[in-house]
Amino acid sequence: MSLKVEALAKRFGDVPALEGVSLEVGRGEFVSLLGRSGSGKSTLLRLVAGFEAPDAGRILIEGRDMAGLPPQARPCAMMFQSYALFPHLSVHENVAYGLRRAGQYSAARVEEWLALVGLAGFGARRPAQLSGGQQQRVALARALARKPPLLLLDEPLAALDAGLRAATGAELRRLQRETGTSFVMVTHDQAEALALSDRIALLEGGRVVQIGPPDAVHARPATRFVAEFLGAANILEEAGASFALRPEQIQLGGDIPARVLTRQFRGEAWMLECEAADGRRLRVSVPAQGEVPAEGDAVALGWPASALVPLA
């Protein structure tokens, strides 16, 4: 086990940030902590890194209890949202910083890391002379240079342009596989978490509400919050209970009369926003091949009973 968190609790003054969070991350696993701002996901990361001390609970990295250890004595490394590159040092010296502290510095090793993130020959520059994407890769190389068993990533893609994000995410995943490092990534972007992680932990109000592989969490959200947060799912209230219903599970040609309000082209499918006769709003995904109703058209909707996922 790379990281084990047991019943972790933390309050800031009167505000509870974490309320009994437990989590396990296996060796070489990529786990995302997904939640809105204020859900406690960043606090969890800062507790593991050692920047804050927990009020209760235990943190074990590679089986060792981290209680009372300062950040510099912990085996994990952190990649900061703002990258936190040292502005007065060159790119080379930024990557070398951790190696020098550990007495493992060699210029060749730094150059190797720079090459691995596609920045060979950039060593002499200052961080301010790099683009956002390049800075992100320097931060990644700096954090990984000492080969920590566990890397904590705080919104690693949030500061990038939308166009760069997908490619950089894939790069992140490749480096994670190649180095065999366990990654714990904090993000508020559900698409990012679904795309990159082995498992996703959803946080709400300082608690983990669901944890599992992306496809499982996506197909069977446990709570209304998860269903809404993962996006796109319709929430139905029937007989006093709530159900999630994914747009692609709804078929045209059923027994519920509705009208198409708007439609959006999503490449592989059209997303229709429909209003049923009883006033319910439903989002329906229709494959791009074949007939697609126009805005204002009357349609009939239906779904199999098995498509309804009960929510807590």
Partner 1 sequence: MTRFVLVLALLFLWAPVVLLAGFAFSDARQPFLWGGFSLRWFHALAGNARLLEAAGLSLLIAAGAATLAVLAGGALGWVLARQGRFTGRPLFGALAAAPLVLPEVVSGLSLLLLFVVLEHLTGWPRGRGAGTVLLAHASLGAAYVAVLVQARLAALGRVLEEAAADLGAGPFTLFRTITLPLMLPSLAAGWGLAALLSLDDVVLASFTGGPGATTLPVLLFSQLRMGPTPEANALAALLLAVALPLGAVFWWWKGRSR
Out of 77, 91, 110, 200, name the contact with partner 1 by CB under 8 A. Answer: 77
* Contacts with 279 (C-beta within 8 Å, 6 or more apart), sequence order: none
- Which stretches of the chain are assigned E, i.e. beta strand? 3-12, 15-25, 30-34, 56-61, 64-65, 77-79, 150-154, 182-187, 199-204, 207-212, 234-238, 241-245, 251-265, 269-276, 281-287, 298-302, 309-310
Out of 78, 114, 157, 211, name the contact with partner 1 by CB under 8 A. Answer: 78
d(Cα 5, Cα 127) in Å, to the nearest integer? 35
Confirm or reject binding of residue 87 to partner 1 (CB under 8 A). yes
Confirm or reject binding of residue 64 to partner 1 (CB under 8 A). no
Out of 15, 37, 68, 72, name the contact with partner 1 by CB under 8 A. Answer: 72
Confirm or reject binding of residue 109 to partner 1 (CB under 8 A). no
d(Cα 64, Cα 74) in Å, to the nearest integer? 10
123 neighbors 47 (Cβ within 8 angstroms):
no
Nearest distance, CB of residue 176 and partner 1, angstroms: 18
Nearest distance, CB of residue 160 and partner 1, angstroms: 18
Out of 40, 59, 97, 282, name the contact with partner 1 by CB under 8 A. Answer: 97
Query: Nearer to partner 1 by C-beta: 143 or 250?
Result: 143
d(Cα 273, Cα 128) in Å, to the nearest integer? 45
Confirm or reject binding of residue 92 to partner 1 (CB under 8 A). no
Out of 10, 92, 137, 142, name the contact with partner 1 by CB under 8 A. Answer: 142
Query: Nearer to partner 1 by C-beta: 74 or 199?
Result: 74
Nearest distance, CB of residue 250 and partner 1, angstroms: 46
Kindly calculate the radius of gyration of the chain based on its CA atoms and give it in whole angstroms.
23
123 neighbors 92 (Cβ within 8 angstroms):
yes
Other Cβ atoms within 10 Å of 51 Cβ, number = 12
Stretch that binds partner 1, among 49-57, 159-167, 197-205, 298-306 (CB under 8 A): 49-57
Intra-chain end-to-end CA distance of the chain, in Å: 30
Confirm or reject binding of residue 229 to partner 1 (CB under 8 A). no
Nearest distance, CB of residue 80 and partner 1, angstroms: 6
Nearest distance, CB of residue 166 and partner 1, angstroms: 26
Confirm or reject binding of residue 84 to partner 1 (CB under 8 A). yes
Confirm or reject binding of residue 86 to partner 1 (CB under 8 A). yes
User: Any idea which residue has 């993000």 for tokens?
Assistant: 187
| Interface ranges with partner 1 (CB under 8 A) | 49-51, 70-72, 74, 77-78, 80, 82, 84, 86-88, 97-98, 101-102, 142-143, 146
